Amino acid sequence: MSLKMYFSHAQTVEWCRAVSAIARRHRAVQGGAAELFVIPTFPSIPAALDALGAGVAVGAQDLAAADAGAFTGEVSGAELAELGCRVVEVGHAERRSLFGETDEIVRAKTEAALRNGLTPVLCVGEDSAGGGGQGDPIAAAHECVRQIDDALGSARAAGHGGRVIVAYEPRWAIGAPAPAGPEHIRAVCSRLREHVSGLLDFAGSAVIYGGSAQPGLLSDVGDDVDGLFLGRFAHDPSALEAILDEAYALTTAGARR
């Protein structure tokens, strides 16, 4: 879950406490069928770490490309790791559109995450849905593979490997009333999982879907994604619990097969 900038600090702490309670009792989390990460705003990271405890990973929504120096307003991956963060979001479409982040910047920030032992939640996705409203999954997958390989280029050249969580977020679905269609998600994410599984220097990497993800979606796409990247549809902790129920059902169904 990324909380973006929707909550106040007090709301963030209250939400984190509710999520912690769910994680402590939910069999999907306790049994290892699901893992959770929460990405609050920078000021709320220490309180989120305290409220969520060891059972839920905490991360940041951004990081600097440099580890130290005269960079007013920036927060380094080194400091995030020192605080106890385990993941960090890189390359979100809003960072690109609102703050001018380019492929070059995403590449540098991905390397910064990996060299500091953080798992980048690497956001990729195509710009346009096309005339049919859902887009071409083959073209989308091709563009996303390009973005993945480009983002990992500097880290690979510097010898910085590690786990990467690829978050497929078609930019036309971000903020929309509904996510991309299940068939589109499955077609794109299955190709991305195939590609990511071949990145031997980034072993253990995963592919999740974001972009108006909400309860009910995981049941439709779970065979072809490793999870969901949630936003506003998880502001109510009960929605998150419903998605964990889906994760548990998928896992138990797979075990029966």
Residues classed as catalytic: 92, 169
Q: For tokens 């120096």, name the residue.
A: 69
Structural contact between residues 27 and 18, judged by C-beta atoms closer than 8 angstroms: no
In sequence order, what are the beta bridge partners of 165?
Answer: 121, 206
- Which 3 state secondary structure label does DSSP give 47? helix
Q: What angle do CA 140, 186, 139 make, to 5 degrees?
A: 15
Residue 104: CB partners within 8 Å, gap ≥ 6? none
Helix (H) or strand (E) holding 151: helix 137-158
By C-alpha distance, which of 224, 238, 214, 146 is closest to 187?
224
Question: What does the alpha-carbon distance between residue 145 and residue 192 come to, in Å, rounded to a whole number?
Answer: 7
- Tokens (6 digits) for 227: 């999870």
Helix (H) or strand (E) holding 27: helix 27-30
Structural contact between residues 177 and 215, judged by C-beta atoms closer than 8 angstroms: no
